[in-house]
Each structure stands twice: as structure tokens, then as C-alpha cells.
Amino acid sequence: MTKLNDILSLYEGATVLVTGASGFIGRWVARTLCSQRANVNLVVRNKSVAEKIFSKYGVYGNIFEIDLLDPEVVMNLVQRVRPSITFNLAGYGVDPSERDEKTAYQINAYLVEAVCKAMRSIQDTDWSGQDVIHVGSALEYGIIGGNLSEDSTPNPTTLYGKSKLAGTSMLTQYCKTNGVKGLSARLFTVYGPGEHAGRLLPSLLETAKTMKPLNLTAGTQKRDFTYVEDVAEGLIRLSVSKAKPGEVVNIATGQLTSVRKFAETAAWILGIPNDKLRFSFIPTREEEMEHSPITIDNLWRLTSWVSPTGIEEGIRKTRDFCKGVDK
């Protein structure tokens, strides 16, 4: 397996564009790229908010607050920056307040096509990696049985899943017909520093501070918990892979853990008494997926790499990182 530093050396001095750069995944991709002195260009929703986030995460570069809903604005930015590669991590619908259907399709689908068109107009022939790395979602699979492989027929049930699948389909079609090198990476239950407040691990970290009881579901649903820094590494490894045009790749560990087991493990590490975890106090969300293990054969074929961080290590890393940035 090629060492990450050897892969990152390909990025030294390279111009990179990251959309959604201040988001949970985006800041970790940007942080990793900045460590190798890449020329990183960061597209964000709110510049002042992003600057505060970037200072905590060691991210630096050119920051652009632009309207990603306008394809012409996207084209102009790409032609101005002239990146060798774009990591498209912009998304709409993760936050429960984001439920506007038109905006969901504009950001999760039509933006993907706009990025592909823009990258085609300035393709860097000296760059041997991918032109576009697009980030999709496990919710694209929806309600299907058996192992989740990239060949499974998707059946999304949520607005986020449906709009993300539309974006993946647009990228696949565009890359196959227009000579753009791009792939879609489907992510599963990503956790770690920067995760949205109200999700499982941030809620547990808050409980460790306050010792107030935490209401949870029964926790029987199983998830593929993948540490965020590993996800960023996986995306960067895929960015220099020889993927087929428009290929879809699952980034996951291939191991399922129940939500209850994850919560109990975190409670043990964070010093939360068992009686503070109130299982079965709230119902399971309607959009919760039930599935068998994730197939990661494509990830291994393209990168000879698997996510190395186990749940206990990932929780400890998150705790320690959050302590550091809160000082």
C-alpha cells in the first residue's frame, strides 16, 4: 500500500478547488491537502464563519463565498482558479432544517453537472489524477436488502438520497460521454471532530460535560461508523486512482456496529455512567436504513487501502481534538 505522504507529494504546488470546504468532511479534506502545501481554494457559504473554522483546523488558502446555485458563477470561478482537480463536497439536506426540494436538486445534482462542465473547459493535461471527486451518500441506496455494493439498484426514500443519486447519475453520464475523469464516493456513518451538533457522538461529548441524561433510540440499528480523517484520506487516495469514468465507490470500513454498542463504547471512554444513556426513550427516525455490511471491493481495487481507525481509537481522537480546539 502506498503511504499517504507519497500520495500527498503529488499535490505539492498543485491547484485544488474544494466546494463545501467548511463543512464536516470538507474541512478535513482541506486540512489534509494544506499539510502538503497544495494551492488550496476553498468555496464556502459564509466566509466569516468559515475563517473561524479554518483557524481551528489548520486550514488555509483562498476563500470564496459564492452562489453555487448559479452555473455561470461556478464556471467563472473554475476558469479563474484553474484547478487540476475539484473536490465537490457541497451538499444540502444533512441539516434537518434543509428541506427545500428545489435547492436540494440545485446543490446535490445540478451543481455536479456545472462542476463537470467547468472542469472540462480547463482540463490540466499535466495532472494524472481525477478531474472531479464528488461525494455522495449512503442514503442513495435507500431501502434495499443484502450487502450494499455499488452495483446494487438504488431505491432512495428521502429528498437527500434522491437528490444525491441524481447528482451521482449526472456525474457518471457526463464523465462517460465528455472525457472528464471523475468518480462518486458514497459515504456512510462518518463521525469525528466537526460533526453536526445533535448527532450521536457530539451529543455524547456534551453529556460527558454536563452529565445530563441523554435520550436515545433502542440503538438496535447497525451502522458502518467511519472516522472522518479516514474518509478524507480515502477521498484523496481515490483522487489519484485509475477509476473508470463516473465510477461509484463506497468509502466505509466494511464492518457494522449497532448504535447502542457505539454509544456504550463512547460512554466508557468519556466517563459517562451507564444510567445517563436512556435507550428506547425516542423512536427511530423514519429514514433510518436497515442493511447488511457494506461492500468495499472497489475501494480496495483502486487504492489497496482500508479505513484503519477503529471505533475506540476514533472516539479517543475526537475527544482529544475537541479538547484542544476548546482551549
CB within 8 A of 143, min separation 6: which ones? 155, 157, 289, 290
Average pLDDT over residues 176-185: 98
What is the Cα–Cα distance from 52 to 44, expressed in whole angstroms? 12
Structural domain count, the chain: 1
- The answer to the question of residue 110 being in a domain is yes
97 in a structural domain: yes
> Is the CB of residue 234 less than 8 Å from the CB of residue 300?
no
Extract the C-alpha cell encoding 68. 453555487
Percent of the chain at pLDDT exceeding 90:
90
Residue 188 lies in a domain: yes
pLDDT in tens, 1-14: 889 999 999 999 89
In a domain, 231, yes or no: yes
For the stretch 138-165, pLDDT in tens is 999 998 777 899 999 999 999 999 999 9
Q: What is the CATH number of the domain that holds 166?
A: 3.40.50.720
**Confidence check: pLDDT of 290 > 90:** no
Instruction: State in Å, rounded, how far the first CA of the chain is from the last one.
Output: 37
Establish if 285 belongs to a structural domain. no
Q: Is 101 helix (H, G, I), strand (E, B) or coil?
A: helix
For 89-111, the pLDDT digits (tens) are 999 998 888 989 999 999 999 99
- The torsion defined by the Cα of 144, 20, 51 and 189, in degrees rounded to 10, comes to 10
279 in any annotated domain: no
Q: Could you give the 3-state DSSP secondary structure of residue 186?
A: strand
- Containing structural domain, residue 74: 4-192+225-254+291-309
Residue 289 has pLDDT above 80, yes or no: no
Q: What is the pTM of this model?
A: 0.96
Least confident of 71-85, 138-152, 230-244: 138-152
Q: Which pLDDT does position 327 carry in this prediction?
A: 52
**Average pLDDT over the chain, rounded to whole?**
95
